[in-house]
Structure 1
Amino acid sequence: MALLRPSTKAAMVSILSIFVFCFPSTVLSESFRQIFLPPTGFGPESLAFESPGGAFYTGVNDGRVLRYQPPTGSWTSFAITSPNRTIALCDGTTDPDKGPICGRPLGLAYSPSTKLLYIADAYYGLFVADSNGRLAKQIATSAEGQRFVACNALDIDPITGNIYFTDASAVYDLRNSSKALLANDSTGRLMKYDVRKNQVTVLLRNLSVAVGVAVSKDGGFVLVSEFVGNRIRRYWLTGRDAGTSDIFLSNLNIVRPNNIKRTSLGDFRIAAATVRQDSQTLVPIRVRVDEHGRISETVSLEAQYGSTPISEVQQSGLSLYVSSRGVNFVGVYTP
């Protein structure tokens, strides 16, 4: 299919967006359940599945990566990212000031072919963990001589196996994320980790708090969300536009876009928020867009989450799994 010119695509997306938000998507037959974390677990940011509907991983506030096994409904501690972490100091903590000691795993991605789990830790950088778990292996802490300050999101290129990840800000770490919002920080970066060369390359700079990443199904482009910029940018990896970027999604009704997850069909699920006109408060929504940035679904999650922000929406099997740093469970929506 021939690509539309940027101006044409923008017009189409704008028209479709107006239609979708005038006639909001509803899901009448969905059920909702909660998979509660262990008693000492809080704040699941991201999820990584071994297989559709199978075991999955999530990172929590106290620095651990946990693994959930569906048949038994049990959680186990799978990996940690900080060599300084101790059980006595860290287990169960929700104190953000302990993050630099305990670690804080945020973005996760699992490679079924290599059985490796990749982890973006807010304080310690990029990691990989094998099936033995325990202390994960640190594989990158800086790019172009600049240390990571707030590693946040990552995804695996389905074609090359390379890792795309973000440093949300070069100034404000996770403890000072509210300051980044107030300052309209625009020092975030999108990077690539070449798994064969063990090398990090910076692809985009000056991003407004880069907190979500997803590579397209064909490996042609990578998306990065700008939490403060209220938009999603597309960086082309192949084709005539390789090495350039454009705006993939920018909509006045969609704010604070967070993690982005590719589905098996090749479209994307986005965790975001919208503004309630009556109270001017933010409420969490999930958004589905196709590979051209056309919105096909927007669903409010206010009934289940109130005004608590969500960080990720991911489809696995027939269900949608929702994570949030403000709760102690993983939400599951099933048709």
Structure 2
Amino acid sequence: MKPTHVLACLAAFLFGLELSHVNIGSVLHVQDFPAPSLGLVGPFAPNEILKDNVHILFKYKINGSETTNVEDGGQSLLLIDKYAEAWHAYSSEDDDSNYSLADKPFANLGAARPLGFMKDAHGNVIVCDTNQGLVSLEPDGRVVLLASRVSASSPIDPDSYIQFANNLDISQSAEGTIFFTDSVQLPAAVEHAPGERPYFEPMSTVMDTLVTGSKTGRLLAFYPQNGTVHVLAKGFWFANGVALSGDESFVAVAETAGFRIHRFWLKGPKAGTMDILIERLPGFVDNMVRAADGSFWVALPAPRTMQAYLLKSKILRALLRYVSPIQLRAAPWGAIMKVSPDGEVLRFLMDTKGSRVSSITDVQEHKLADGRTRLFMGSLLQPYVSCIDIQDDAR
């Protein structure tokens, strides 16, 4: 038997040994690895809805705006690129689907890599910055650091640093609590690409997290009334998107390498506990946002391939890292889904080869006057954002 075959058999044997391992986190019971994907069947049947209908905006003018925000009733957009520059774009009076980018950015967040962001009730843009933590871009352009570490009063991980702030949602209550994720206890690296300005590149940290199996992601809450930060749950394999339910009884949390979305309950008999909203997804999970009907739009930036199954074993990860390195940058595709608060898949929109739009990391919904819904899609990796108009009753 060839040495490579022996190595493969050994790896397969060790892989099998690890299938039964379950990790009990210090806070929540977090399964070591999720159940297998159901595949692209049923509600996830392949389609080309995105490829056939998407509009590409600001190509090569906006690079790496993971998130978009819709403002002024759809008349303008807020974007923040990988260089931490904040931009406005404005719709045309003659064609509300045609947006023009402002001549220059209106603010710069400094040494930052902004990911998720949204406006609070006071008009401040609250930003998850992988370099600094949770920051606020004030209406006058000032950048205010809200939190870079967990408070001493937190019952979980007191005084720990916020290493990789990623995505957020803000309560509509008077308190305005900000729920956000700290993806992993690893910082983002600084990228020095030839011919480009330096910027913080989170993808290298994402890949390290997947290969090393670091399940240190956390869900946090920032309380504006006293400026404290508490850890609510931890043990996620790269915690990512965050979205409150319509009644704010739970906050949904995407676990990127777990291919699933959790519900952390804030109210009712389940308060303080966590369960699964949906799992066995066909792609890695990124940002999510609550839709007008109480469902959630979710971005799936990359497909779940055989590589994902190899991540199940720490021994296989080590072998593959040095013998045959995994190419974690998966084949391009574009995919988003809409899921109900009970975990039912309501919509699934694709560009199966990513030939028109790919690596979608965020979906923002805007209702049009004619009854259609316009979805704006950001991308961490692509030099554009995109949008698509859909009928609400389409499946």
Q: Judge conservation of contact 1:260–1:312 (CA < 8 Å) in 2.
A: yes
SS in 2 for 1:309: coil
CA contact (8 A) 1:59 1:104 kept: no
SS at 1:274 equivalent: coil
Superposition deviation, residue 268 in structure 1: 0.4
Post-superposition shift, 1:24?
5.1
Corresponding position of 1:224: 253
5 Å-filtered alignment, 1:1-335, equals 19-21=42-44, 23=45, 27=49, 31-36=53-58, 39=61, 41-71=62-92, 73-75=100-102, 76-82=104-110, 102-111=111-120, 113-133=121-141, 135-143=142-150, 144-159=158-173, 160-173=175-188, 174=202, 175-251=204-280, 253-272=281-300, 273-275=302-304, 281=331, 283-302=333-352, 305=355, 308-317=358-367, 318-335=373-390
CA separation of 1:28 and 1:69: change in aligned 2, threshold 3 A: closer
Structure of larger gyration radius: 2
Q: Give the drift of 1:263.
A: 0.9
- Could you say if the C-alpha distance between residues 158 and 24 of structure 1 is closer, same or farther in structure 2, counting changes exceeding 3 Å? farther
Task: Give the distance between the partners of 2:271 and 2:131, measured in 1 at CA.
Answer: 31
Q: 1:30 to 1:316 in 2, by over 3 A?
A: farther
Asked if the contact 2:332/2:354 (under 8 Å) is kept, the reply is no
What is the Cα deviation at residue 303 of structure 1?
5.6
How many pairs were matched up? 295
Tell me the TM-score normalized by structure 2. 0.68
Look up the SS of the partner of 2:257 in the other structure. coil
Once residues 177 and 87 of structure 2 are traced to their aligned partners in structure 1, the CA distance between those partners, rounded to angstroms, is 24
Q: 1:250 to 1:58 in 2, by over 3 A?
A: same
Partner residue in 2 for 1:7: none
* Native 8 Å contact 1:64 1:105 kept in 2: no
Contact 1:158 1:217 in 2 (8 A): no
Counterpart secondary structure, 2:205: helix
Does structure 2 conserve the Cα–Cα contact (< 8 Å) formed by 1:185 and 1:228?
no
**In structure 2, what is the Cα distance between the partners aligned to 1:60 and 1:28?**
23
Give 3-state SS (helix, strand or coil) of 1:334's partner.
strand
The answer to whether the 8 Å contact 2:50/2:388 transfers is: no
What whole-Å deviation, never above 9, does each CA across 1:262-284 have from its counterpart, x for those lacking one? 1111110000143479xx94633
TM-score (norm 1): 0.80
Instruction: Give me the whole-angstrom Cα distance separating, in 1, the residues matched to 2:355 and 2:166.
Output: 22
- Output the CA distance in 2 between the equivalents of 1:241 and 1:304: 40
Q: Which structure carries more relative contact order (alpha carbon 8 Å, separation 6+)?
A: 2
Which of structure 1's runs of 4+ aligned residues deviate more than 6 A? none
Identity of aligned residues (%): 25
Which whole-Å CA distance do the structure 2 matches of 1:257 and 1:212 have between them?
8
- SS of alignment partner, residue 42 of structure 2: helix
Distance 1:77 1:42 in 2: 13
One-letter amino acid matched to 2:43: V
- 1:278-317 per-residue CA deviation (whole Å, 9 max, x = no partner) reads xx94633111001111111111123655684211122112
Say if 1:221 and 1:235, in contact at 8 Å, map to a contact too. Answer: yes
- Higher strand residue share: 1
RMSD across aligned positions (CA): 2.6
SS where residue 365 of structure 2 aligns? strand
* Farther-moved stretch of structure 1 (157-166 vs 239-248): 157-166
1:19–1:154 CA distance, 2 compared to 1 (3 A) = same
What stretches of structure 2 of length at least 5 have no aligned partner?
Answer: 1-36, 93-98, 151-157, 189-201, 307-329, 368-372, 391-395
Residue 60 to residue 293, structure 1, CA distance change in 2 (3 Å): same
Instruction: Note if contact 2:47-2:352 (Cα within 8 Å) is conserved in structure 1.
Output: no
The residue aligned with 1:89 is none
Cα drift, residue 30 of structure 1: 6.7
Q: Name the SS of the counterpart of 1:266 in structure 2.
A: coil
User: Which sections of structure 1, spanning at least 5 residues, go unmatched?
Assistant: 1-13, 83-101
Amino acid aligned to 1:179:
D
Rounded Cα–Cα distance in structure 2 between residues aligned with 1:29 and 1:179: 31
**How far does residue 211 in structure 1 lie from its aligned partner after superposition?**
1.4
